[in-house]
Amino acid sequence: MAVEKMSIAKALNESLRLALDTDPKVLIMGEDVGKLGGVFRITDGLQKDFGEDRVIDTPLAESGIVGTAIGLALRGYRPIVEIQFDGFVFPAYDQIVTQLAKMHARALGKIKLPVVVRIPYGGGIGAVEHHSESPEALFAHVAGLKVVSPSNASDAYWMMQQAVQSDDPIIFFEPKRRYWDKGEVDTESIPGPLHKAVTVREGSDLTLVAYGPMVKVCLEAAAAAQEEGKSVEVLDLRSMSPIDFDAIQTSVEKTGRLVVVHEAPVFYGSGAEIAARITERSFYHLEAPVLRVGGYHVPYPPARLEDEYLPGLDRVLDAVDRSLAY
Amino acid sequence: MTVESTAAARKPRRASKRTSAAKKPQSSEPQLVQLLTPEGERVEHPDYSIDLSADELRGLYRDMVLTRRFDAEATALQRQGELGLWASLLGQEAAQIGSGRALRDDDYVFPTYREHGVAWCRGVDPTNLLGMFRGVNHGGWDPTTNNFHLYTIVIGSQTLHATGYAMGVAKDGADSAVIAYFGDGASSQGDVAESFTFSAVYNAPVVFFCQNNQWAISEPTERQTRVPLYQRAQGYGFPGVRVDGNDVLACLAVTRSALERARRGEGPTLVEAFTYRMGAHTTSDDPTKYRADDERAAWEAKDPILRLRTYLEKEKLADEAFFTGLETESETLGKRVREVVRAMPDPEPLSLFEHGYADGNSLVDEERAQFSAYQASFADSAEEGK
Ligand SMILES: Cc1ncc(C[n+]2csc(CCOP(=O)(O)OP(=O)(O)O)c2C)c(N)n1
């Protein structure tokens, strides 16, 4: 056993290092990923050890970054590209949606696009605009892409390994405000599949489903609810596309209640998809309508208002109370 | 050709050779338009002569000094936790004041996020620039008051807006011009290339003002281009010119000439102001990770403010009273900025739901009502707890 305590940032760094070490076809590309090690230092030291040909500082052009990664993938490479912040993926959105997502199908499965697009996402760090968004639904809606987000160091490490090994394009959302949270990583144990949800807390009265940055908030909410005698189960979805509906269904059929929590706006968000499917699958097991907690239908607000916008402990507990009141 | 070199040429081309990053372009340093040397000597240029009164020269100096003072205050306020972030313009004062003072009131400016000196020239109250860096708003000024658009954080986007605005100016038959600011890093973005295409094709009255401060966060200009940036213009069919970005007179003269060209209906110009970002990219950046110490020292010798001061003193265009008066003025500005920022209130929570739509939106109304009720529930429980 090789268990080590490390931050999510460090776990990602170690995982990328392992990927570069294991497979000479793996490349890292992005703005400032070289000497600087990325603005969050996720690629710290990698260019020093693997060289400028494998850890590539790119011109400041997101469409260029993803578009050339597609070309490299067609040539047998496995690019991992870094988009500096969530709000800057949109110049590359065209390449991701119209090209990366669809090429495998258009070639009747004859070509593979093993590209990982890493995006630090979400709010809570007091940043200026375009640095705090949660655009995951915009990607999950597109067929051909897989969308995942770890919530802890162990998943950061292993999900990155699995993403790099996947032959499908993966949009890898990194919860930036959790980068510095530490957790144990067992670098030898074999993890479960990439797209399986994990029950991170058992409970019997209600199920909270979350992913990425909101898992921690939901765990805190469950602990607070426990003090009031409520037993809340927490599911870490880990993958927003595909979604492990079986795991949610199993949990909901045990607890009878479901609240989905994410930072992204509720309107047309992943919570809507989960609510609809679970209502179809488990209608007679539900004691209350599926509730959603998330952002509002407003542009992500300036930093001094983000605490109002982001779902915190109180808003999650409020939804738990509302659900239990049915 | 020697035997060895032929053999070498036939050798399988090694991956490292072929894929390794492009090194510095080998072209010789292109000519910079310069009217004031780093030593404070006035020089002439055949295409860009300029004749400024002592008053005007002192005015440019004052603009640069106050802009630098404002910038330093903002950096300090960030360090004190009053601002979440600051993008300093230290070293770029001449590029901004020179170009900014070339503009007419009816011209329209599309800045990126570092154009504090241009904002100053436009008459935008500098404290208005700080709201977005403090995190109380995403803009903080009405762009139409001073024809100074909102700061743009997504790299390069504003160059297309400038082009479209300029197309509108031309359609209206007006003779104002438009200026778009961006960095050397931004020159890699598709939007910037597209704005070059559109402005050339539609002969839009726009000046592209690229402040090449040598770095895009950690990436040097060579990571964006193999040719000097001003030469890009040629491929699009309009002129490009490189100016000493630390020479306020040259920046003024070159920008003025490009604006006049636009007004005459002769289309866009690309101005590359060759300058240097003396500080970090922003207060979150750590340039020691990627930049040699002596680089900054070399550029400090070209300081835009010092060289104008040398000239003013040497030519006896400003006396001691002017310089001490300016110091007092700087301190007053610094103090005002400090006070205004510290007094800036956090926005009201319900303001979250303002201005998302011009015509309103029923979904937003519903969410506002829910949010309001939720907020009120805390007030109620606080009451009960009494
Ligand atoms: C589309 C986009 N990608 C990435 C970023 C992050 N970013 C902010 S500033 C910057 C470097 C900009 O360099 P340059 O254009 O040379 O302007 P400078 O800040 O040096 O004046 C980067 C990569 C961004 N704001 N927008």
Q: What is the pLDDT of residues A175-228, one digit of tens each?
A: 999 999 999 999 998 889 999 999 999 999 999 999 999 999 999 999 999 999
Tokens 């008053």 — which residue?
Answer: B55
Question: Is B45 designated active site?
Answer: no
* The pLDDT value given to residue B3: 38
The model's pLDDT over A154-169, given as tens digits with 9 standing for 90+, comes to: 999 999 999 999 999 9
Q: Looking at the predicted structure, is the pLDDT value of residue B9 above 90?
A: no
Residues in chain B closer than 8 A to A43 (CB atoms)? none
* The pLDDT value given to residue A222: 98
How far does the centroid of ligand 1 lie from the alpha carbon of residue B367, in Å? 34
The closest of A238, A253, A242, A245 to A207, measured between CA atoms, is: A253
Residues A75 and A38 in one domain: yes
Residues A206 and A176 in one domain: no
Residues A177 and A51 in one domain: yes
Residue A301 lies in a domain: yes
Residue A191 lies in a domain: no
Residue A193 lies in a domain: no
Residues A150 and A292 in one domain: no
Q: Going by DSSP bridges, is the β-strand pair B215-216/B206-212 parallel, antiparallel, or unpaired?
A: unpaired
Residues A270 and A156 in one domain: no
Residues A78 and A107 in one domain: yes
Q: What is the mean pLDDT of residues A295-321?
A: 97
Q: How many domains does chain A have?
A: 2
Give B3 to chain A, closest Cα distance, Å.
30
- Test site for ligand 1: of B90, B155, B212, B224, most ligand atoms within 8 A of the Cβ: B155
* The pLDDT value given to residue B7: 39
Residues A50 and A172 in one domain: yes
Percent of chain A with pLDDT strictly greater than 70: 100
Residue A86 lies in a domain: yes
Q: Among A128, A155, A186, which residue terminates a domain?
A: A186
Instruction: Give the CATH number of the domain where residue A211 resides.
Output: 3.40.50.920
Q: Among A159, A186, A213, which residue terminates a domain?
A: A186
* The pLDDT value given to residue B14: 45
* The pLDDT value given to residue B383: 64
Q: Looking at the predicted structure, is the pLDDT value of residue A265 above 90?
A: yes
Q: What is the mean pLDDT of residues B67-91?
A: 98
Let me know if A255 is exposed, middle or buried by CB neighbors in 10 A (0-12, 13-18, 19+).
Answer: buried
Q: Looking at the predicted structure, is the pLDDT value of residue A44 above 60?
A: yes
For A53, residues 6+ apart whose C-beta sits below 8 A from its C-beta are: B15, B16, B19, B20, B21
Residues A17 and A158 in one domain: yes
Q: What is the pLDDT of chain A when averaged over all its residues?
A: 98
Q: Is B216 in the pocket of ligand 1 (CB under 6 A)?
A: yes
Q: What is the pLDDT of chain B when averaged over all its residues?
A: 92
Q: What is the mean pLDDT of residues B248-275?
A: 98
* The pLDDT value given to residue A198: 98
Give A309 to chain B, closest Cα distance, Å.
8
The model's pLDDT over B11-64, given as tens digits with 9 standing for 90+, comes to: 444 444 454 455 554 444 568 999 999 999 999 999 999 999 999 999 999 999
Q: Among A166, A186, A206, which residue terminates a domain?
A: A186
The Cα angle at residue A310 between residues B284 and A133, in degrees rounded to 5: 55
For A143, residues 6+ apart whose C-beta sits below 8 A from its C-beta are: A101, A102, A105
Residue A203 lies in a domain: yes
Estimate to the nearest angstrom the gap between the alpha carbon of B12 and the chain centroid. 46
* The pLDDT value given to residue B386: 52
Residues A255 and A119 in one domain: no
Residue A192 lies in a domain: no
* The pLDDT value given to residue B380: 73
Residue B223 has its nearest CB partner, among A39, A57, A301, at A57
Residues A160 and A239 in one domain: no
Q: Looking at the predicted structure, is the pLDDT value of residue B385 above 60?
A: no
Residue A141 lies in a domain: yes
Instruction: Give the CATH number of the domain where residue A24 resides.
Output: 3.40.50.970
Q: Give the residue numbers spanning the domain of A27.
A: 3-186
pTM: 0.94
The model's pLDDT over B341-354, given as tens digits with 9 standing for 90+, comes to: 999 999 999 999 99
Q: Is A84 in the pocket of ligand 1 (CB under 6 A)?
A: yes
* The pLDDT value given to residue B26: 45
Q: Going by DSSP bridges, is the β-strand pair A291-295/B215-216 parallel, antiparallel, or unpaired?
A: unpaired
Q: Specify the amino acid at residue B369.
A: A
Residues A204 and A135 in one domain: no
Residues in chain B closer than 8 A to A314 (CB atoms)? 378
State how far the alpha carbon of A159 is from the alpha carbons of A12, A89, B60, in Å: 9, 21, 56
Residue A298 lies in a domain: yes
Residues A169 and A96 in one domain: yes
A117 contacts A170 by C-beta, under 8 angstroms: yes
Q: Give just the sign of the alpha carbon dihedral A257, A261, A264, A266.
A: positive
The model's pLDDT over A62-120, given as tens digits with 9 standing for 90+, comes to: 999 999 999 999 999 999 999 999 999 999 999 999 999 999 999 999 999 999 999 99
Q: Is the peptide bond before A242 cis (omega within 30 degrees of 0)?
A: yes
3 state SS of A114: coil
Q: Looking at the predicted structure, is the pLDDT value of residue B245 above 50?
A: yes
